[in-house]
Structure 1
């Protein structure tokens, strides 16, 4: 038995992640294994809700924790304020080159800002489609291939997706991208009126066919609804969670797929999510924190320990692994094309202000209707304010 005196001399790192099996369990598992390999280190992980994960300022968290699992839109803010430590200054260049080459879609560059790498992409995600194959079979309905197919299935009360403000905004971006124009490319408007109006109309045509309870559910709550009840057979887009594609995790198994076609012949383009492992600039044991982060992000750990404990890895080798896919009903193989073309949303200094409020405007429209151009005008005003914050900071 180790003496308490020896325990007191351990180097302790504190980490914060989000409270889902995908967010917490792989961090606990990697911390435990790292401690076994480095008995003088203790790593304590805490969890917060998905909403807190998106909302609470990285500035506040970086004063309390050494290790932070972050959302990539925080990158510009964190870089400007020098809140987190850049990996380029501490890790071997060859390791970062491997990370870059094996990025799942734009996961690695999503944490790169002003020439520095501010987090390692340990988790990759984007909205993908999910189905209950057993329910579709019982309905005699093939897997939807087009947006029209989704509307037809929604008319039967069999379709759902998250209608929370943040997810609604990400879905609005998706509709814009899928209509051929990426949002937030101009200084003074989110999207052109022609594309924006069409995107809102398409979005509302589907939202009108979905039960109002989904205005209260985030993506994994949608999946919980799908596995615990036998009503929703198909989710056309929600940030993927490979946990629900694993035997024994839920009451029923979900299968995950690429998105349907909105127009033309190409599937829709969704908005990149995922999570990165960052290290507070105030960490007193930067070398050890960096070494642990390197361990978590390494291809071997990502494809074994990380994914075996509920994680959704950010390293391409894990996504391509036949063993990883065997464990997850081919989740990674079947959704990789969706990840590879996902839209990388803005990360400029003021964008979090826009992201925090713009979804409410679109939700209001989906619930109550209204003039699409007025909705776009409101979004454009918010957007210009957020750009102004960037200019004032600069």
Structure 2
């Protein structure tokens, strides 16, 4: 049979393990071959999912696309491919809300291959103190310490939402159709404004990978309080690269909930795919302890299995990345997934960036964000 066509994203965390696993397959031995293409991070975050599913059998995606995918009927629900007890076991074994983030409209739509969330990234050699644990400690860091926020692309609104979660108000959790109450937007902006004002100008247009690359390659950026964690920078293979350490995202209080919006990736099967038992067995193997604690970490991947994040050898190999960020991921907040959310995320980030740059008040920013949310959220939509 012809090879399955897969699409993942163009970063070692996104493609190395999948490509290495596929390279070990053969039609004669396994009855299976898979060819993986790559797309840039920006495409992964925003490209229409139905277009990708027309061209690929297997698609690595993130959970905010699920509502769009369900509306356009372009994915196969896991319940039609795997036994209920298998799905339940993945739910028990996966860290935090990674599997449940792919459950929408009564079904699961992707396997949680990779786990990530926003955490704090810093250069330990440039920080002459313990990592800050609260937002007030972050804001109080000395002006001479070079910091930045992750505000490019969708990350501006993700940062505001995460800060609001840490302060006790989750988006969409109040009255139906309300994004965030104006007081919650105002409280989050009190943290965002001073940090945005002092953020390293050269880093303002960078996505999370760009921010972490800059932290690893120079000495002009010591801390980013909220950025998606990439284990690859915690133990760099390049001897010239500086080590970036990762810690729990800031909270409102030292013992409070870290404010963080879940990321990570799932592996989904498109409607065009004729899934054979051999393909399903390969996906099962990617989710199994052997791959999650052994194969995937050794190929620069970031596993989703809870025991992998707690594994002593895995942490020793990767600078305690997993141990240091474990609590944040367990408590991460799941974004809305309704059809239209991706467009809201993009436009809301632009609204917020403009508001910060122009010094707009909290009330007009909150009103514009609410109008944007109402324009993109279908009535009575499941979040």
Deviations 1:169-218 (A, max 9, x none): 11010111111110122333211111111112211111111122222111
Q: TM-score w.r.t. structure 2 length?
A: 0.94
Per the TM alignment, residue 285 of structure 1 is displaced from its structure 2 partner at its CA by 3.6
The answer to whether the Cα contact below 8 Å between 1:68 and 1:279 also exists between their aligned partners in 2 is yes
- Misfit runs of 4+, over 4 Å: none
CA contact (8 A) 2:114 2:301 kept: yes
Alignment-derived partner of residue 22 in structure 1: 13
RMSD value over aligned CA atoms? 2.0
Higher mean Cα deviation, 36-45 or 297-306?
Answer: 36-45
Give unmatched runs, 5+ long, in structure 2.
none
User: CA 1:305–1:371 in structure 2 vs 1: closer, same or farther (change >3 Å)?
Assistant: same
Residues 281, 288 of structure 1: alpha-carbon distance in 2 compared, 3 angstrom cutoff: farther
Q: Do the aligned partners of residues 265 and 324 (structure 1) sit closer, same or farther apart at CA in structure 2, a change above 3 Å counting?
A: closer
Which digits, 9 at most, give the CA deviation of each residue in 1:129-182, with x for residues without a partner?
12211222xxx3332233233234361142123220311111010111111110
Aligned residues of 1:87 and 1:290 also touching (Cα < 8 A): no
Equivalent residue, structure 2, for 1:374: 364
Instruction: Find the aligned partners of 1:50 and 1:310 in 2 and give their Cα distance.
Output: 16
Partner in structure 1 of residue 262 of structure 2? 272
Distance (whole Å) between structure 1 residues aligned to residue 155 and residue 250 of structure 2? 18
Cross-structure match for 1:228: 217
Q: Is it true that 1:112 corresponds to 2:120 in the alignment? A: no
Does residue 77 of structure 1 match 2:49? Answer: no
CA contact (8 A) 1:126 1:239 kept: yes
Q: Is the CA contact (8 Å cut-off) linking 1:157 and 1:209 kept in structure 2?
A: no
Q: Could you tell me whether the CA contact under 8 Å between 1:258 and 1:267 is conserved in 2?
A: no
Describe the shift of the 1:279–1:38 C-alpha distance in structure 2 as closer, same or farther (beyond 3 A).
Answer: farther
Match of 1:310 among 300, 317, 320: 300
Give 1:60 shift: 0.2
Stretches of structure 1 that go unaligned for 5 or more consecutive residues are 1-9
**Count of equivalent residues:** 380
Q: 1:299 aligns with which of 274, 277, 289?
A: 289
- Aligned residues of 1:130 and 1:234 also touching (Cα < 8 A): yes
Mapped to 2, the partners of 1:184 and 1:214 lie a distance apart of 30
Q: 2:116 aligned with 1:125, yes or no?
A: yes
Matched with 2:163 is 175
In proportion to residue count, which structure has more helix?
1
SS in 1 for 2:3: strand
Change (3 A) 1:154 1:349: farther
Q: What is the aligned counterpart of 2:279 among 261, 272, 289?
A: 289
Are 1:58 and 2:46 matched, yes or no? no
TM-score computed with the length of structure 1 as normaliser:
0.91
